[in-house]
Amino acid sequence: MTDWPNSEFLLPLFPLPNLVFFPRTRLPLHVFEPRYRQMISDAVAADQRFGIVLLRPGWENDYFGAPPIHTFGTVGQIEQAVPLDDGRYNILVRGEVRFRVVGEVSREPYRTARVIVQPEQSREVAQSYAQKAWLADLSRRYLDYLPDQIAVPEIDTVELEALTNALIMSLNIDVQEKQRLLEIDDLIARADEVAHELQNRIESLQFLAPYRRKTDPSQN
């Protein structure tokens, strides 16, 4: 486990308009803007880290400047970086820990901020285990309703934080709602919200299942 500083530290920022990144997940990125090519080059030469944050609504008016960002984001650790001939990068990033932006210190050549880590609150092992078992069961039941979905063995092997955050990343949820979930300090509370979201979807799919069978030509 990484020992994060208890005080503020500097972190380059990669603001994105339509994506919220979570700890314990992985994200492939294609980096093409000159300022972020430089950021990745600098990160690769240093500690391999940068922060991913969500732009606030209205970012379209000043995207190439410095539109407002949400104050909570996730530290990304570069696991793979493939430089392309024209200067672009294909990278794979692992989510490390949440952070809170204290203040920006630079916007050239890319945005850099003073941040402080914001790890989730810990709970008793037994409570986390029970929540994980419930969420894993709901995940398997939900996947059963998705067409051509293969089994995902990781559901049974990953810890609660990884399962909860991976589900949020993969579900079709409004990006501002995902940001709200990222900002929940209590992991059990976040997992509980995801579980209820899955439960509601399962109930809807159960209700619709007979009608889908009637309209499916393969069932005739």
Confidence class for position 220, pLDDT limits 50, 70, 90:
very low
49-74 confidence digits (pLDDT tens): 999 999 999 887 877 778 999 999 99
Asked if pLDDT for residue 216 goes beyond 60, the answer is: no
How far CA 176 is from CA of 20, 29, 72, 211, 216, in Å, comes to 9, 20, 12, 32, 35
Here the tokens at position 147 are: 């067409």
> What are the extents of the domains in the chain?
9-117, 125-219
91-120 confidence digits (pLDDT tens): 999 999 999 999 999 888 999 999 999 988
Per cent of the chain over pLDDT 70 is: 92
Here the tokens at position 65 are: 């400047």
The pLDDT of residue 166: 95
Check if the beta carbon of residue 12 is closer than 8 Å to that of residue 111: yes
| Residue predicted with more confidence, 149 or 198 | 198
Using CA atoms, how far apart are residues 152 and 181, in angstroms rounded to an integer? 23
Asked if pLDDT for residue 217 goes beyond 70, the answer is: no
Helices 125-144 and 187-215 cross at an angle (nearest 10°) of: 20
Q: What CATH class does 9-117 carry?
A: mainly beta
Check if the beta carbon of residue 118 is closer than 8 Å to that of residue 72: yes
DSSP state of 143: H
Q: Hey, CA dihedral for 153, 157, 162, 167, is it positive or negative?
A: positive
Query: Taking Cα atoms as reference points, which of 141, 124, 145, 142 lies closest to residue 188?
Result: 124
Pick from 3-7, 107-111, 158-162, 193-197: least confident: 3-7
The pLDDT of residue 96: 96
